[in-house]
Amino acid sequence: MSQPLSVDVNAAVTGTVLAVQANYYQVQLAEAQDYPVEQLLCTRRSRLKKLGQQVMVGDQVVVEEPDWLGERGAIASILPRQSQLVRPPIANVNQILLMFALTEPKLDPQQLTRFLVTAESTNLPIVLCLNKRDLTSYAVQKAWRDRMQQWGYSPILISLRTGVGLKTLERSLKGHITVVSGLSGVGKSSLINTLIPEINLRVGKVSQRWGQGRHTTRHVELFELAQGGFLADTPGFNQPGLEQILPTQLRNCFPEIRQRLSQAQCQFKDCQHVDEPNCVVRGDWERYPYYLSLLAEVTEQQAKRQMTMTAESRTKRKSRKHGKIHDEPKLETKRYRRPSRRQLQQQLQDIDLEHLSP
């Protein structure tokens, strides 16, 4: 005989969106011990779509009319977000776990810098983790640790195969919603499998031919940690985009630059730290050439965006027969706009008054 429900079946409940698949949302209920089930498979109310409100992984949502027996529900509203990332699309993250490997694939400092700059642009705390320490010597590990500290980071060196360093990493993840980012093949899915064995994510091997990992994660998903908090696995990629970073923002993505500017200021407020006189940033530090390269890249991207916006402002989309769409130049409104009837009548009245006046 089934036990009666101890909750109001008509009451709304709150929870966290763990995964998004098509038009369905897996919601982990808050204070799950008070409810008959821990998760509900939900749709979203049509009014959210009309309002243009997208439900994202990590969102805190209100679920109406839960069907406890069918484990279904409908998302009625989204609670205010504390943070929001565009790539990957996820809400309410409060730190980034940037994961790389010391070897297999080979650790490239320039590629690592791109990931670090992208992570810094979110203004979220960064946990830098270097995996596969068991495949390298102590001298190599110390060299990379010292090098990262000069960059402004304190890396956690771990080995998923032996378990060394995992306790330190777990302490940094406890109680946080952490998004895991990094190259394919560095061990992101393996880390989640180690911390949450019941998940059993598919793991890809590093290609011997190309020296890169194969993509195994296809979508963003949150996984609950036993000690509290969530991990968000994200699809791996080899070159993170810098489209969201402006040239004036790039300097804030380098701890070395922030440290130098905290001690002294450049002569010009808009100094880009390239060849301006009395620049306190320009100098002999390791990642300065990387900064110059990325500055040229984001400056070129900004120029292209401005050209595109200028071209779009001068043209308009117009459809013809058979559904064909083409661009036409916009007419200059001041030159070609016809005067209204009211304006013409006012002009005629002014002329009459001039003739009637003595």
Which amino acid, one-letter code, is at 334?
K
pLDDT in tens, 128-152: 999 999 999 999 999 999 999 999 9
Compute the C-alpha angle 30/31/32, nearest 5°: 90
Contact criterion met (CB below 8 Å) for 219 and 19: yes
pLDDT value at 215 more than 60: no
pLDDT value at 318 more than 70: no
Assigned token pair, 170: 């777990």
State phi, psi for 290 to the nearest 5 degrees.
-65, -40
Within 10 angstroms of residue 194's Cβ, the number of other Cβ atoms is: 17
pLDDT value at 271 more than 90: yes
Residue 219's pLDDT is what?
72
Q: Is 187 left (phi over 0), alpha (psi -120 to 50) or beta?
A: left
Residue environment code for 82-92, b if the CB has 16+ CB neighbours within 10 A, otherwise e: ebebebbebbb
Separation between Cα atoms, residue 121 and residue 244, nearest integer Å: 8
Residue environment code for 229-243, b if the CB has 16+ CB neighbours within 10 A, otherwise e: bbbbbbebeeebebe
Contact criterion met (CB below 8 Å) for 299 and 262: no
Q: Average the pLDDT over 249-255 and give the result.
A: 95
Helices (H) and strands (E) in the chain, counts: 10, 15
Is residue 203 classed as helix, strand or coil in its secondary structure? coil
> How confident is residue 350, by pLDDT bands cut at 50, 70 and 90?
low
Residue 2's pLDDT is what?
39
> How confident is residue 76, by pLDDT bands cut at 50, 70 and 90?
very high
State phi, psi for 70 to the nearest 5 degrees.
-85, -5
According to DSSP, the residues that pair with 29 across neighbouring strands are 15
Pairing of strands 315-319, 325-329: antiparallel
**Mean pLDDT over each residue of the chain, to the nearest integer:** 83
Ranges assigned E (strand) in 114-260: 126-131, 156-157, 177-181, 221-224, 230-233
pLDDT in tens, 96-128: 999 999 998 889 999 999 999 999 999 999 999
